[in-house]
Structure 1
Amino acid sequence: MATLFHYSNTFSIFVTLVLLALLVLRQPSAAASCTTPPVIFNFGDSNSDTGGLVAGLGYPIGLPNGRLFFRRSTGRLSDGRLLIDFLCQSLNTNLLRPYLDSLGGTKFQNGANFAIVGSTTLPKNVPFSLSIQLMQFSHFKSRSLELASSSNSLKSMYISQDGFRNALYMIDIGQNDIARSFAKGNSYSQTVMLIPQVISEIKSGIKRLYDEGGRKFWIHNTGPLGCLPQKLSMVKSKDLDQHGCLASYNSAAKVFNQRLDHMCMELRNQLKDATIVNVDIYTIKYSLIANSNEYGFERPLMACCGYGGSPYNYNVKITCGHRGSNVCDKGSRFVSWDGIHYTETANAIVAMKVLSMHYSNPPTPFHFFCRH
């Protein structure tokens, strides 16, 4: 695999190190007030898949994925950590293992990750849709409680009823539903018409978790789909906004986010004893594109790892890690890792903004979910 870009921009690398250092420095304060981290269960797609696709289907995801923090591929579609990894670290808890990882040697004491690459909410009967992930959770909970109440000498290593009741339930899904609709050739109006069904599935999922005893929910809206190099390279008729993103795709994402926000408000009124926080990931991620120079990102719409060079470096036939693909220098500043997913640097900045509470509704410190 060739190295495509080399930048000797010392300032850019310095900014990267400073931003990552700020994230690390931020963690102790949260961790200090989180002596007992919550159990965490995550549901979603590739934006938060920590190895589920590899564990469940054996799909090969090799280097250069994982080249920075892990120094090996872990099944994450990034050069390093994902947003969910940074959030876990901020609570001083272990990174979430995928539910399907039966060879991981873990008892899932700190929770489990049900997110899988490519997941959608619709149709709800296909692997690994949100409804299937929720079915997996129900099985996981039933089995965990059975083992925790047994005479097994290791029963303390399994999650108890109290652990499930005080757990944090994270949901980050919906982007693929919008993307799939456009990929099928549906118009903007046809895509928007599907959104209420997607929201309905997420709402049903939250209610199902609530009925299972869950009371703490952390929900991400969807990012600016129209700024992904993959979409920009594959869409023939481009209706670009002032920053070079597909306006119709982003507009559909905004409609989804508005509906999601309204749904969360409804659930807060219906589920009085639940804490439901929704986070504006769209605004955070779009700011990386719109204000790329401020963050030191030189080519915000170009993939670090891919094929084709400028302007997007994405080719659906030669994707990141496949023969012929190129990868940027490790010190380079890119928002996009492979045309769809974000680099560790971008994820670190997103995490810092999420932890700032400025994008959360209601504004809630993430360590609020620690067990006291």
Structure 2
Amino acid sequence: MEPHSFKHVVIGLIFSMTLLPSRSGSLAPCNFPAIFNFGDSNSDTGGLSAAFGQAPAPNGETYFHAPVGRYSDGRLVIDFIAESLGLPYLSAYLDSVGSNFSHGANFATAGSTIRPQNTTRSQSGFSPISLDVQSVQFSDFNRRSQIFNKQGVFDKLLPKEEYFSQALYTLDIGQNDLTAGYKLNLTTEQVKAYVPEVLRQFSDAVKRVYDQGGRAFWIHNTGPVGCLPYVLDRFLITAPQVDKYGCASPFNEVAQYFNRRLKDDVIRLRKELPLAAITYVDVYSVKYTLISQAKKFGFKLPLIACCGHGGKYNFNNSVRCGGKITVNGKEILIANSCQNPSVRVNWDGIHFTEAANKWIFEQIANGSFSDPPIPLKMACQRMDH
């Protein structure tokens, strides 16, 4: 399966522009009053930091000018989604300090998987807050919001009851389920073998949200993990397994397999959940296009981390972005940011820079990488398939 080239981006744009009027008729943009997000570090706005300690500086330096729980120099795709809908940035559900949930909540945490892991965070680095936990947190938040938003100050901090059925539900998770298998020394075929069970649990989570009134779902597929510096640095990859852009083909093949199965599950969910509008977003193709043709879009060194320390990819698993060493009793930052993150794709070996996140958002917002090909602002509209 060959990812989209730039030509496909243009064709997709034309296709969506010509197709929309004929299929959607006079559909009006949705008025989403809130966003509820489920995911991993690609969309974590402070969940893991609230639970296990703040993502260190220089994270956040570009836009927020301080660490704010995001594993990036600035905003994430979920931040640009919120901005485009005229909503505030999402507070992490786990963050009790300074949070306002009146327009939604973010249940994502860095390191989250769909399927619960049989390892602790200190053993594997994966968050214990897997998708099933996130959906329990959402259920509790939904139920208790109805009680507390009738009590004094809370009405300004919690969503209105009707927001839960009118909200946009975004999901971006699954990447860590794939790398989890490789960390356990499983083969590519063994990783593929458990993907259907992972996606069954994903579908169950969507159904639970639907049962509580969720109707508009915006689902990202998983990105090309074989192009991430930490994968290229950490796992044994032979020369024949590297594609012409320097990415690890077996990892990308597993991601594409996951994505094909995810799309099949989305089609099934549309039949099982007749009132839901479910949009599948091909983020893989967008990210692969950016990485493989970085220069064309004003970026450089797509496989080298901007913030890191040493090695071929400027990534060292034991001294990650913000890492320090102690010399003569004094802490010295050795894993610092590169000079100009605005022209870099990869931030810290695992995550994208704000500039890359903004570019990715701009490609997906108009629906040219979506099935059905409707823009984000119309994601509440059901379309016949």
Normalized against structure 2, the TM-score is what?
A: 0.83
Aligned alpha-carbon RMSD (Å): 1.9
Query: CA-to-partner distance for each residue in 1:124-180, whole Å, 9 max, x for gaps?
Result: 7982000000101111111101123x3547536532331111111111110000011
Partner residue of 1:115? Answer: 108
Alignment match of 2:347 (pick from 330, 337, 351): 337
Q: For the residues of structure 2 that align with 1:293 and 1:152, how far apart are their CA atoms? A: 54
Aligned residue for 1:306, secondary structure, equals coil
Partner residue of 1:50? Answer: 45
Partner residue of 2:191? Answer: 191
CA 1:315–1:338 in structure 2 vs 1: closer, same or farther (change >3 Å)? same
Q: For the residues of structure 2 that align with 1:207 and 1:154, how far apart are their CA atoms? A: 28
Partner residue of 1:29? Answer: none
Question: Is the Cα–Cα contact under 8 Å of residues 38 and 370 in structure 1 kept in the other structure?
Answer: no
Q: Does 1:41 align with 2:36?
A: yes
Partner residue of 1:249? Answer: 251
Partner residue of 1:97? Answer: 91
The unaligned stretches of length 5 or more in structure 1 are 1-32
CA 1:153–1:51 in structure 2 vs 1: closer, same or farther (change >3 Å)? closer
Q: For the residues of structure 2 that align with 1:121 and 1:370, how far apart are their CA atoms? A: 24
Aligned residue for 1:231, secondary structure, equals helix
Q: For the residues of structure 2 that align with 1:275 and 1:287, how far apart are their CA atoms? A: 27
Q: Which amino acid aligns with 1:70?
A: F
Partner residue of 1:277? Answer: 279
Aligned residue for 2:185, secondary structure, equals coil
Question: Is the Cα–Cα contact under 8 Å of residues 216 and 380 in structure 2 kept in the other structure?
Answer: no
Query: Deviation at 1:123?
Result: 2.0
Query: Deviation at 1:60?
Result: 3.2
Q: For the residues of structure 1 that align with 2:29 and 2:270, how far apart are their CA atoms? A: 25
Partner residue of 1:81? Answer: 75
Q: For the residues of structure 2 that align with 1:284 and 1:91, how far apart are their CA atoms? A: 21
Partner residue of 1:20? Answer: none
Question: Is the Cα–Cα contact under 8 Å of residues 229 and 314 in structure 1 kept in the other structure?
Answer: yes
Q: For the residues of structure 1 that align with 2:306 and 2:161, how far apart are their CA atoms? A: 44
Partner residue of 2:124? Answer: none
CA 1:335–1:105 in structure 2 vs 1: closer, same or farther (change >3 Å)? closer
CA 1:295–1:127 in structure 2 vs 1: closer, same or farther (change >3 Å)? same
Q: Which moved more, 1:244-253 or 1:354-363?
A: 354-363
Query: Deviation at 1:293?
Result: 1.4
Q: Which amino acid aligns with 1:333?
A: V
Q: For the residues of structure 1 that align with 2:247 and 2:67, how far apart are their CA atoms? A: 30
Identity among equivalent pairs (%): 44
CA 1:180–1:153 in structure 2 vs 1: closer, same or farther (change >3 Å)? closer
Q: For the residues of structure 2 that align with 1:180 and 1:124, how far apart are their CA atoms? A: 8
Question: Is the Cα–Cα contact under 8 Å of residues 34 and 92 in structure 1 kept in the other structure?
Answer: no
Q: Which amino acid aligns with 1:165?
A: S
**1:170-189 maps to which residues of 2 (within 5 A)?**
170-189=170-189
Question: Is the Cα–Cα contact under 8 Å of residues 54 and 60 in structure 1 kept in the other structure?
Answer: yes
Q: For the residues of structure 1 that align with 2:276 and 2:35, how far apart are their CA atoms? A: 16
Alignment match of 1:262 (pick from 261, 264, 287): 264
Q: For the residues of structure 2 that align with 1:266 and 1:272, how far apart are their CA atoms? A: 10
Question: Is the Cα–Cα contact under 8 Å of residues 261 and 278 in structure 1 kept in the other structure?
Answer: yes
Q: For the residues of structure 1 that align with 2:200 and 2:353, how far apart are their CA atoms? A: 31
Normalized against structure 1, the TM-score is what?
A: 0.86
Q: Which amino acid aligns with 1:38?
A: P
Query: Deviation at 1:105?
Result: 4.4
**1:1-372 maps to which residues of 2 (within 5 A)?**
36-57=31-52, 59-106=53-100, 108-123=101-116, 127-148=128-149, 150=150, 152=152, 155=155, 157-238=157-238, 239-309=241-311, 311-323=312-324, 324-330=334-340, 333-369=343-379
Aligned residue for 1:194, secondary structure, equals helix
Greater RCO between the two (CA within 8 Å, min separation 6)?
1
Question: Is the Cα–Cα contact under 8 Å of residues 124 and 130 in structure 1 kept in the other structure?
Answer: no
CA 1:320–1:49 in structure 2 vs 1: closer, same or farther (change >3 Å)? same
The unaligned stretches of length 5 or more in structure 2 are 1-27, 119-126, 325-333
Q: For the residues of structure 2 that align with 1:365 and 1:198, how far apart are their CA atoms? A: 28
Query: Deviation at 1:357?
Result: 1.0
CA 1:146–1:353 in structure 2 vs 1: closer, same or farther (change >3 Å)? same
Partner residue of 2:16? Answer: none
- What number of residue pairs does the alignment pair up? 335
Partner residue of 2:11? Answer: none
Q: Which amino acid aligns with 1:181?
A: G
Query: CA-to-partner distance for each residue in 1:60-94, whole Å, 9 max, x for gaps?
Result: 31211001110111010000100100111011110
Aligned residue for 2:343, secondary structure, equals coil
